C-alpha cells in the first residue's frame, strides 16, 4: 500500500529564495535517486508566502524509511534548517 506524506514548512522572512534553491536540489535528488518515491513536490501557499507544503508519496513503508536515511536528505535537510521558522508539521497517511 502506498504511503502519503504532507510536510508543512514555515520559512523565516527573507529566506525564501535560499530555501527554494536548497529544496529544488533535494527534490531533484529524491525524484531521480529514490525509486520507491512516487512523487515529491514543493508547493507555496497563496495566502502566506512563508508557508510551503511538500506532497510526497512512497511505494511502501520501507521506501519512506529509506528516504530519511539518504545522504541527500540528511545533508540538504541540515542546510534547510537554517531557513526554517520552526519544526515542520508532518502527517503520514495510507493510500485508499
What confidence score (pLDDT) does residue 24 get?
97
User: What order of strands is seen across the sheet that includes strand 51-58?
Assistant: 37-44, 51-58, 3-10, 89-94
- pTM to 2 decimal places: 0.93
pLDDT tens digit sequence for 42-81: 999 999 999 999 999 999 999 999 999 999 999 999 999 9
Q: Please give the distance of CA 9 from its chain centroid, rounded to a whole number.
A: 9
So where are the chain's domains? 3-94
* Three-class DSSP category at 74: helix
CATH level 2 (architecture), domain 3-94: 2-Layer Sandwich (3.30)
Cβ burial of 58 (10 Å; 0-12, 13-18, 19+) is buried
**C-alpha–C-alpha distance, residues 20 and 15, integer Å:** 9
Amino acid at each position: 500500500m502506498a504511503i502519503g506524506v504532507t510536510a508543512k514548512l514555515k520559512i523565516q522572512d527573507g529566506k525564501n529564495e535560499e530555501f527554494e534553491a536548497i529544496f529544488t536540489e533535494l527534490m531533484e535528488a529524491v525524484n531521480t535517486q529514490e525509486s520507491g518515491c512516487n512523487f515529491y513536490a514543493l508547493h507555496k501557499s497563496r495566502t502566506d508566502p512563508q508557508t510551503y507544503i511538500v506532497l510526497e508519496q512512497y511505494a511502501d513503508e520501507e521506501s519512506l524509511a529509506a528516504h530519511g536515511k539518504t545522504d541527500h536528505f540528511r545533508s540538504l535537510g541540515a542546510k534547510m534548517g537554517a531557513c526554517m521558522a520552526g519544526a515542520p508539521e508532518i502527517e503520514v497517511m495510507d493510500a485508499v
